[in-house]
Structure 1
Amino acid sequence: MANVFISHRKVDASAARRLAEELSTVGHNVWFDEWEIGIGDSVVERMDAGLEGTSYLVLCYSASGVMSPWVTREWMSALHRQMEGHRVRILPVKFGGSAPAILSDLRYADLSDDWDRGFAQLVKAIH
């Protein structure tokens, strides 16, 4: 199964956690900050290791936005790796709100209106 990195703002942690759990349940290897960064760990080192091995960066956004220093670094890192020819895809997931303009051409999974339908679309995109 695929290596999936969940990028989210803390305000969206409960929805992101649910998403991470459901992706794990269907067999994907999920990097989720609460599971991967322990007390005393270097946050930057753990995030870098997670991003290095990922095939899919799931970019979660909501009415609270997507722009936070950490989330921005995560998806920009994935975008840069993509532009350099690495096999990593950014998969936007909408909890609400709108995506950053630079990613507005990407189709997103809408979990705000119909979680099950949006989740099924996301799983189909992760192959």
Structure 2
Amino acid sequence: MANVFISHRKDDTALAERLAGNLSSAGHTVWFDEWEIHLGDSITERINAGLEGSSYLVLCYSASGVTSPWISREWMSTLYRQLEGHGVRILPVNFGGSAPAILADLKYADMSADWDAGLGQLLKAIR
């Protein structure tokens, strides 16, 4: 099974955690900030370790966007690693918004229209 990093804004925590639970139940190893960063941990260190160990970054976006400093760093660093040939993929998941222009050509799982169908597409993409 795959190592999956869930990237999301705080506004989307409930939906992102639901998705993380679905992926975990399907047998994938999921890095989700609420599960992986504990009191006293270095946030930057924990996120970096999660990103480095992941084969997939699931980029969750909504009407809240993807422009917070943390989520931007997560997907931008993953895009750089992908372009450098590191075998990591960005899988966009739409909770009801627009992806960044640089990722607009990527097919996304539309969780806002039909959660189960979007989840099925995402699970199919994660090998």
If the length of structure 2 is used for normalisation, what is the TM-score?
Answer: 0.99
- Structure 1 letter corresponding to 2:126: I
Give the ranges of 4+ consecutive aligned residues of structure 1 lying more than 3 Å apart after TM superposition. none
Which residue of structure 2 aligns with residue 57 of structure 1? 57
Q: Quick check: 1:99 aligned with 2:109?
A: no
Q: Per the alignment, in what secondary structure is the counterpart of residue 78 of structure 2?
A: helix
Report the CA distance between 1:83 and its aligned residue. 1.0
Q: Per the alignment, in what secondary structure is the counterpart of residue 30 of structure 2?
A: strand
Which residue of structure 2 aligns with residue 89 of structure 1? 89
Provide, for residues 80-126 of structure 1, a one-character-per-residue CA deviation record: whole Å limited to 9, x for no partner.
10111101000000000110000000000000010000000000000
Q: Per the alignment, in what secondary structure is the counterpart of residue 57 of structure 1?
A: strand
Which residue of structure 2 aligns with residue 124 of structure 1? 124
Q: Per the alignment, in what secondary structure is the counterpart of residue 80 of structure 1?
A: helix
Distance in 1 separating the partners of 2:82 and 2:63 = 27
Q: Per the alignment, in what secondary structure is the counterpart of residue 72 of structure 1?
A: helix
Alignment gaps of 5+ in structure 2: none
Alignment gaps of 5+ in structure 1: none
Q: Per the alignment, in what secondary structure is the counterpart of residue 112 of structure 2?
A: coil
Distance in 2 separating the partners of 1:49 and 1:65 = 24
Distance in 2 separating the partners of 1:104 and 1:21 = 26
If the length of structure 1 is used for normalisation, what is the TM-score?
Answer: 0.99
Distance in 2 separating the partners of 1:87 and 1:103 = 17
Distance in 2 separating the partners of 1:62 and 1:79 = 19
Distance in 1 separating the partners of 2:93 and 2:121 = 10
Which residue of structure 2 aligns with residue 4 of structure 1? 4
1:30-41 equivalences under 5 Å are 30-41=30-41
Q: Per the alignment, in what secondary structure is the counterpart of residue 60 of structure 1?
A: strand
Q: Per the alignment, in what secondary structure is the counterpart of residue 66 of structure 2?
A: coil
- Structure 2 letter corresponding to 1:66: V
Which residue of structure 2 aligns with residue 76 of structure 1? 76
Distance in 1 separating the partners of 2:21 and 2:64 = 22
Report the CA distance between 1:66 and its aligned residue. 1.1
Distance in 2 separating the partners of 1:64 and 1:76 = 18
